[in-house]
Amino acid sequence: MTITAPRRRPYRAPAPLGGRARAPHRRRPGLKASVFLFPAIVILGAFVVWPMISALRLSFTDASGFGAVHWVGLENYVRVLSDPKIRESVVNTVIYTATFTPTAVLAALVLALLVNNPRMPFASFFRTALFVPFMVSLAVGAFAWSYLIDPQVGLLNYWLGAVGIHLGNVLEDPTLALPAVAMVAVWKSFGFYFVIFLAGLQDIPRSLYEAATVDGANWWNRFRFITVPMLSNTFAFVLVFAVIAALQAFDQIYVMTGGGPYGHTQTIVMEIYESGFRRLELGFASALSYVLLIATLLLSLIQFAFFSRRERDLS
């Protein structure tokens, strides 16, 4: 005679009082994120995406803001590439970019290296003081600099005159006007690049510099073989931002020179402004703005590709 043990029934959690058991609620983080992102997406769509689509459509028309709009195809783009005035503004923009970008980046890097030095006195004060110009509106700063370099009432000319240097009215000099407005942009922007470089420098382990010092490396070798490779991503970020800022130069030029003297500070964005709001050639201005957008994207991609390849080579 065999005795079989009774089967055990699987355990079931008791049902809650007053109803049937419910499946645990599954959270949907993606849905919640979409709800929070929806207002920002609506704002971007209304004030960024839709204006870009409208400008692209206008670039193929002869729109002026008044009267009928006619489709002209690629006529505006052909004019952008063949107009000698546009070529002159492109040359001015290239010169401005070549003046502004290396000056702002090198000034920010040198100052970041100085402030990052542990033996630097009043480092906290200089960090704040060097960032303050970035918080000032470029138009307001341009007004202030216009008075500072004024040959009649400007303090800068007065101080330089005391040591025998007489600049005259640089904003009316065809040779000095473009570098002058570029230096105002450098004064305004380098504080932002300074903070980015400073953050990158502080992210480099001090042990690398200590080991290099023990091995007998001087300051140049430490900068060349430690600082520069470790700052490659920071360099890429700062250079891309600096080039984009240079290609969009408008505020201080509009305030200080208005594109003069004789068109020597007429940049591409100034030409877009005059074409769209003074001559009411909205279609042509839209085409010019899209050519500038494509050029900016290409330059940014080239810089990113260069620094990515350099980082792979160093690693």
CATH code, 136: 1.10.3720.10
115 falls within a domain = yes
The 10s digit of each residue's pLDDT in 100-121 is 999 999 999 999 999 988 788 8
Q: Please determine, for residue 219, whether its predicted confidence score (pLDDT) is greater than 90.
A: no
50 falls within a domain = no
The chain-wide mean pLDDT, for the chain, equals 86
Lowest mean pLDDT among 27-31, 171-175, 257-261, 266-270: 27-31
Over pLDDT 90: what percentage of the chain?
48
The 10s digit of each residue's pLDDT in 57-78 is 999 999 888 888 899 999 999 9
19 falls within a domain = no
Q: Please determine, for residue 18, whether its predicted confidence score (pLDDT) is greater than 80.
A: no
Three-state secondary structure string covering 77-139: HHHHHHCHHHHHHHHHHHHHHHHHHHHHHHHHHHHHHHHHCCCCCCHHHHHHHHHHHHHCCHH
- Higher-confidence residue: 247 or 15? 247
32 falls within a domain = no
218 falls within a domain = yes
The structure tokens listed for 170 are 């640089």
pLDDT of residue 7: 58
Q: How many domains does the chain have?
A: 1
Averaged pLDDT for residues 211-223: 88
Averaged pLDDT for residues 185-191: 93
Lowest mean pLDDT among 25-29, 108-112, 255-259, 305-309: 25-29
Q: Please determine, for residue 13, whether its predicted confidence score (pLDDT) is greater than 70.
A: no
Q: Please determine, for residue 260, whether its predicted confidence score (pLDDT) is greater than 70.
A: yes
45 falls within a domain = no
Q: Please determine, for residue 3, whether its predicted confidence score (pLDDT) is greater than 70.
A: no
Three-state secondary structure string covering the chain: CCCCCCCCCCCCCCCCCCCCCCCCCCCCHHHHHHHHHHHHHHHHHHHHHHHHHHHHHHCCECCCCCCCCCECCCHHHHHHHHCHHHHHHHHHHHHHHHHHHHHHHHHHHHHHHHHHCCCCCCHHHHHHHHHHHHHCCHHHHHHHHHHHCCCCCCHHHHHHHHCCCCCCCHHHCCCCHHHHHHHHHHHHHHHHHHHHHHHHHHCCCHHHHHHHHHCCCCHHHHHHHHHHHHCHHHHHHHHHHHHHHHHCCCHHHHHHCCCCCCCCCCCHHHHHHHHHHHCCCHHHHHHHHHHHHHHHHHHHHHHHHHHHHHHHHHC
222 falls within a domain = yes
Q: Please determine, for residue 21, whether its predicted confidence score (pLDDT) is greater than 70.
A: no
Question: What is the extent of the structural domain holding 266?
Answer: 75-314
Averaged pLDDT for residues 308-313: 68
- Higher-confidence residue: 57 or 166? 57
Q: Please determine, for residue 229, whether its predicted confidence score (pLDDT) is greater than 80.
A: yes
33 falls within a domain = no
